[in-house]
A and B are shown apart, each in its own frame.
Chain A
Amino acid sequence: MSTPTSSWPEAVMDTFRSQKIRQVAYVPDNAAKHLIELVLADKDIAAVPLTTEEEGVAMAVGACLGGERMALLVQSSGAGNCINMLGMVNECRVPLLMLVTIRGTWTEFNPWQMPMSEATATVLGAMGCVVKRVDKAEEVGPIVSAACQLAFNTNRPVAVLMDQRLVGTKEFK
Chain B
Amino acid sequence: MNATRKPTLDRRAVAAAILKQRGDGLVVAGLGASCFDVMSCGDTPLNFYTWGAMGGTAMIGLGLAIAQPKRRVLVITGDGDMLMAMGSFATIGARQPANLAIVAMDNEHYGETGMQQAHTQLGTELAGVARAASFRAAGTIYTEAEVREWVPRILREPGPVFADMKVKTDRGQFILPPRDGTELKLRFQQALRANS
Interface, chain A (partner B; CB < 8 A): 22-23, 46, 48-52, 54-68, 70, 84-85, 87-88, 91-94
Contacts and interface: CB of A to CB of B under 8 A. Distances in A.
Contacts of A85: 53, 55-56
11 contacts: A58-B53, A60-B63, A62-B28, A62-B61, A62-B66, A65-B189, A66-B66, A67-B68, A85-B55, A91-B182, A92-B182
Interface stretch (B8-16, B35-43, B85-93): B85-93
A39 to B, nearest CB: 14
A60 to B, nearest CB: 6
Nearest to B90: A51
A48 to B, nearest CB: 6
A23 B67 contact: yes
A24 to B, nearest CB: 11
Given A84-B53, A91-B182, 8 more contacts: A48-B62, A55-B87, A56-B59, A59-B60, A61-B185, A64-B189, A67-B67, A93-B185
Most chain A CB inside 10 Å of its own CB: which residue of B91, B95, B188:
B91
B53 A93 contact: no
Contacts of B94: 49
B178 interface: no
Interface in B70-119: 85, 87-88, 90-91, 94-95
Given A55-B87, A84-B53, A87-B53, A62 B59 contact: yes
Given A23-B67, A68-B67, A92-B185, A51 B88 contact: yes
Contacts of A66: 26, 63-68, 192
B193 interface: yes
B52 A51 contact: no
A66 B56 CA distance: 16
Contacts of B192: 65-67
Given A51-B88, A93-B181, A58 B59 contact: yes
Contacts of A52: 87
B162 interface: no
Contacts of B26: 65-66
A62 B65 contact: yes
Nearest to B65: A62
B56 A88 contact: yes
Nearest to B54: A84
A92 B63 contact: no
Nearest to B179: A91
B57 A64 contact: no
B89 to A, nearest CB: 9
A155 B77 CA distance: 27
B60 A61 contact: yes
Question: Which of A56, A58, A92: most chain B CB closer than 10 A?
Answer: A58
